[in-house]
C-alpha cells in the first residue's frame, strides 16, 4: 500500500473526520467564549470593582521610562518586562467558562448514551406452556 493511499484511507475514516469537525467547531466556540468574556463579562466585573480595565492590570518588572503612558501596551512597547496578570485573569475566566460548558455537554451526552433497561423476556410459546402443564399433571 502506497503512502498516499494509506493517508487517504486514514483521512476518510469516520474518526479522523469527526476529530476535524470537532476541532473546527471547538475553535469557533472558543472564539465565542473569548468574546463573551472580553466583551460582556469583564466590563461588568470591571465596573463592579471600580471601573478599571482588567486587560491593563500589570506589574512592571523594570523601570518605566519617563513619558510612557501607564497602559500595558505602551509599557510593553517601551521594552519594559511586565507581569500581565489582568490578561491572565481574563484567560483564566475564559477557560473556566469553556471547561464548564464542555463538562455540561459531556454530561448530557453520557445521559443520552445510557442503555435502555433490558426488554422483558419474550412470551413463552403456547406449545411449551401445554407441555409444562402436562408434565406438572403427571407429577401428581
**According to the model, what pLDDT value does residue 115 have?**
67
**Which CATH number fits the domain that encloses residue 86?**
1.10.1200.120
Task: Please indicate, yes or no, if residue 129 is contained in any of the structural domains.
Answer: no
Task: Please indicate, yes or no, if residue 138 is contained in any of the structural domains.
Answer: no
Using left for φ > 0, alpha for ψ between -120 and 50, and beta otherwise, residue 2 falls in beta
The β-bridge relationship of strands 82-83 and 59-60 is: antiparallel
Task: Give the CA distances from residue 49 to residues 44, 52, 123, 137, in Å, rounded to whole numbers and listed in that order.
Answer: 9, 7, 70, 88
Instruction: State which residues form the domain around 89.
Output: 3-115
Rounded distance, CA 140 to CA 138, Å? Answer: 5
Task: Please indicate, yes or no, if residue 87 is contained in any of the structural domains.
Answer: yes
H/E run at residue 82? strand 82-83
pTM of the model: 0.54
Task: Please indicate, yes or no, if residue 127 is contained in any of the structural domains.
Answer: no
Per-residue pLDDT tens digits for 69-121: 878 888 888 888 988 888 888 888 878 888 888 888 888 877 887 766 677 77
Number of domains in the chain: 1
Amino acid at each position: 500500500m502506497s503512502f498516499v493511499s494509506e493517508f487517504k484511507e486514514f483521512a476518510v475514516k469516520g474518526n479522523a473526520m469527526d476529530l476535524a469537525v470537532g476541532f473546527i467547531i471547538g475553535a469557533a466556540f472558543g472564539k465565542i467564549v473569548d468574546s463573551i468574556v472580553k466583551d460582556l463579562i469583564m466590563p461588568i466585573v470591571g465596573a463592579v470593582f471600580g471601573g478599571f480595565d482588567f486587560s491593563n492590570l500589570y506589574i512592571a518588572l523594570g523601570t518605566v521610562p519617563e513619558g510612557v503612558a501607564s497602559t500595558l501596551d505602551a509599557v510593553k512597547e517601551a521594552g519594559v518586562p511586565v507581569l500581565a496578570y489582568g490578561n491572565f485573569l481574563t484567560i483564566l475566566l475564559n477557560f473556566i467558562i469553556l471547561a464548564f460548558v464542555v463538562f455540561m455537554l459531556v454530561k448530557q451526552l453520557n445521559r443520552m448514551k445510557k442503555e435502555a433497561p433490558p426488554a422483558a423476556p419474550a412470551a413463552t410459546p403456547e406449545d411449551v406452556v401445554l407441555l409444562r402443564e402436562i408434565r406438572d399433571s403427571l407429577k401428581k
